[in-house]
Chains A and B, each alone.
Chain A
Amino acid sequence: MGFDGMNCPNCGADLPETLTRAKMVACRYCESAVVLEDDALRTAGEKGVMAEEPSLFVLGREIRYRRESWLPVGQARFSYGTGWWDEFWAVDGGGEGVWISVDEGEIAVERPYEIDVTLSPWQLKRGENVSLNGETFTVTEADTATCMALRGEFPEALHVGQAYRYWHLSGPMGRLVTLEFSEGEFAASEGVWVDPYLIRSENAGA
């Protein structure tokens, strides 16, 4: 679909051209989350208030890590029992998207991951081993997070105020799998932990 100057269905403001490659954007003017569905736009609630915090990641500023580089284009903030973390949607040099989760220097970069087993939330308990695609992972964290705020664009619809159950699984050679359960479905992503001291960005200070 070509970009033909779409407008926010709530306030009429121009939406960014990046909507052509995203599923969802947050309107910069009226704080509405706008979802693109079958070439039609609909609002998906408020985008929430994003309190500004020190971060290595800033929307629109490229970051480099070892031989890779990513451009963060969307930022979602989730709260959990004792704090909150940011989930950035970023695109790499080849246009592929990654999720970057950032929680006080604990940074993981993950890509969408297809799992070949049927899972039940009830079997995913902390400390349990789970076989995914022939590999054994251990559940290291299980919690529920609530979306607090959205900014930028995302490959899927997110809703401020919605709760998501999630699990972190640790696998061989430091591999990480995150499972997310929402509206009766699992979504999985797989990736690695990232050393923040090796990140190079305008905000890295190193």
Chain B
Amino acid sequence: MDRFLFLTVDGLTHGAVYSAFALALVLIWRGTRIVNFAQGVLAVATSYLAYTVTGRSGSYWLGFLAALLAGLVLGAVVERLVMHRVAGAPPLNAVIVALGLVLVVQGVLGMIYGNQYLPFPAPFDRSAMTVGGVPLVSRFDLFVFGTVVLLMIVLALLFTRTAIGLRMRAAAFAPSVARLLGVRVGRMLTLGWALAALVGALAGMLVIPTGLGLHPTAMDTVFVSAFTAVVVGGLDSPAGAVVGGMLVGLVLSYVAGYLGAGTAPLAVLALLVVVLLVRPAGLFSGPQARRV
């Protein structure tokens, strides 16, 4: 039972990060119908910036802030300079461009920082605190969980309580109608990318300290897990992304804990296949229109 509790808490903590990352993917999908395969590498790039800033200033939090700001700027720049040019083109174009971006950014990061794993600090102690005699949760886990919950609340307020959120949703759901109502759709899409990259940067800062360290491919497996979370929850559903992320986190934790870490990737794939077979649009998808 102790082990089960530990694995559940561990799964939820990792799942929270997958949820945040999945949310970033959903933000872009809803606005542009593009699965941003470059999401992971953008997060890695911002983490490298945080690494540099932290190294030079000696302040983790200055690096943390730099990563978030860089995410915001990088997302906007990528949308304006790269993805904007394939908007309206066949979907495969955007996928290929995003994959190309992954290769370019990974290559550039490797050239600047090298291809070895760099130690990435965590702002809080990662050793588990004992609750009722069971080593359960670390301060860093609590920080991760609290940050992701705060992020969810802020995003929910942004989209449901502010005019800019309303405009962003309108631009995503019905761009041509939104334009007729004075919404600057292009700006909203850029803002959506910026916001998604900021969320991705945050997820990177939360998950990289729990892995081997900083590396140009550090977010690849996280991306796969988050992508699975999005498919499980439904590409159009922010709530689905959150639940999907938690589910993937729990599955990974239980399988790694009971069957061995080597089997965890297979479990994620199995989950992906089951959802695609049983409910291809995701667990939280709305009713699908059928043209007759």
A and B form one complex: no
